[in-house]
Structure 1
């Protein structure tokens, strides 16, 4: 009997230790790795954008330096940086193509098949609310009128939230339609949809906000008004 009790006790201690290590991994280590990955993605984008490109001008033999033209989105690669002032003026996250687990571990994820940044249609982006750096932890604080700003290295895009946070179920894929039926939009336009999980530590539901493209300006003009303190 003593042997059985000792064995069961040791198994419980081992199991408890494994549970604690798993919690530490989920709550701490994934966040450390994700923060490093997101910072690295942003640094890579800035280096890519700063290199620029050289193209000929109309005059023979003349050459001028111009910003690098954005390339087609490639799965798992960052192509833009998002800023949400509601989350603080230091908050910024990379946006990558695709919504796989490996992509979401490195930043925000663009739903393949939805519109491109600034394009006609619905530019839809997802992100973790908890774990992997908690990029959208404060999602419920978003309000209509809040700006969501993105840049692709050549242009600033300022979207304005019109509706949300709206709670729905994961199977409600209509939220990322070109004209989302529940958003209040009735005609084609240039829209943004942000999605994250709900509740905070679960994934039984989704929180959604919808926004429209409010303005654009070249990066040479400086930061848009929404990012000025």
Structure 2
């Protein structure tokens, strides 16, 4: 076993060999295979920026043939008599873990890596200014430009607002057509029906010629639960849009009245919106009752046939003997007309009936209204 060399003073008057931070050396240093070996003391390294160069070392000096350590650059005034050096102020390196290579590896992993290194934290993004530091004018302008929306964003916002506004308007229009027009028409038709019955009870109205838009009868379709006033004419504004049933009483589509001895009593009404009294007349079948109530009489008709689709120009369905109805001789008929398909006015739907009973009001309601 090699004996330790006697300590000697540093050529510059610093710590003796074999010490670290002023403490004596802990003993032989471990080698790379886990054993221990004795290292000969090395010559002190000259301090850059120290008090001055020391004596030259040549062959035969203690540092000759030794491995040279990295030189440490000392800051001015950091060393000297009575002042600790940088090496003494720094933390001492971790002592080698006893127990061989496996123990040293475990200890190195616990310290942050196999070789005892530590991970540096990731640098902060360059764009983010330090905490508490006000932005410079250039940085403030750059951030303002980034926050300001571009032309494409502004255009997309404008288009989106137009679409939203259009959608809201369309929704309001559909609500008005499908709901509000029915509410208004039902109220107007109900008011007209009550007014007719009050006038009949008081004797204010008499059968005769009626003005356009004037109510003169009430239509009952028991199967569809329809009760609607009948007014003269088929004007949308004056009659149909008010939820009433219109009578074809004007040339060139003038039809007979219910009390005529022969003829065709032609009626029209909306199938959708504005009260839609004829919405479900396509459900009528042969034998269903249609009753027309006037001031003095109930006229009862029975459905005989239907025409699901025909062009609006087919006015022959209103003839005294309607074309396509199956009737071959003059009689007392009724014709109901409306638009088809629903929510369109492209074609017409026709329902025909034949009078089977004429009952005075003094005898009470007919069986078709009681059942």
TM-score between the two structures when normalised by the length of structure 1: 0.89
Q: CA RMSD in A?
A: 1.2
- 1:117 aligned partner: 258
Contact in 2 for aligned 1:157/1:217 (Cα 8 Å)? yes
The range that moved more, 212-221 or 160-169, is 160-169
Q: 1:183 aligns with which of 307, 318, 325?
A: 325
Q: 2:241 aligns with which of 65, 88, 105?
A: 105
Q: Secondary structure at the match of 2:324?
A: helix
1:5 deviates by 1.4
How far apart, in 1, do the equivalents of 2:330 and 2:216 lie? Answer: 24
How far apart, in 1, do the equivalents of 2:359 and 2:271 lie? Answer: 30
Higher strand share: 1
1:35 aligns with 2:225: no
Query: Which has more radius of gyration?
Result: 2
The range that moved more, 104-113 or 162-171, is 162-171
1:4 aligns with 2:145: no
Q: Secondary structure at the match of 1:183?
A: coil
Provide structure 2 residue ranges, at least 5 long, that are not aligned to the other structure.
Answer: 1-151
TM-score between the two structures when normalised by the length of structure 2: 0.56
- 2:294 aligned partner: 152
Higher helix share: 1
Q: Secondary structure at the match of 1:101?
A: coil
1:222 aligns with 2:357: no
Residue by residue, what CA displacement relative to the aligned partner does 1:168-209 show, whole Å, maximum 9, x if unpaired? 111111111111121111121111000111112212111111
Aligned residues: 213
Contact in 1 for aligned 2:282/2:308 (Cα 8 Å)? no
Contact in 2 for aligned 1:140/1:165 (Cα 8 Å)? no
Residue by residue, what CA displacement relative to the aligned partner does 1:20-78 show, whole Å, maximum 9, x if unpaired? 0000000110000000011011011011101126xxxxxxxxxxxxxx53131210111
How far apart, in 2, do the equivalents of 1:177 and 1:6 lie? Answer: 60
Matched ranges for 1:1-229 at <5 A: 1-52=152-203, 68-88=205-225, 91-102=226-237, 103-106=239-242, 107-112=244-249, 113-119=254-260, 120-229=262-371
How far apart, in 2, do the equivalents of 1:137 and 1:10 lie? Answer: 37
Contact in 2 for aligned 1:118/1:213 (Cα 8 Å)? no
Contact in 1 for aligned 2:215/2:232 (Cα 8 Å)? yes
- 2:21 aligned partner: none
Contact in 2 for aligned 1:143/1:165 (Cα 8 Å)? no
How far apart, in 2, do the equivalents of 1:217 and 1:159 lie? Answer: 11
Q: Secondary structure at the match of 1:4?
A: helix
How far apart, in 1, do the equivalents of 2:300 and 2:218 lie? Answer: 12
How far apart, in 1, do the equivalents of 2:259 and 2:308 lie? Answer: 23
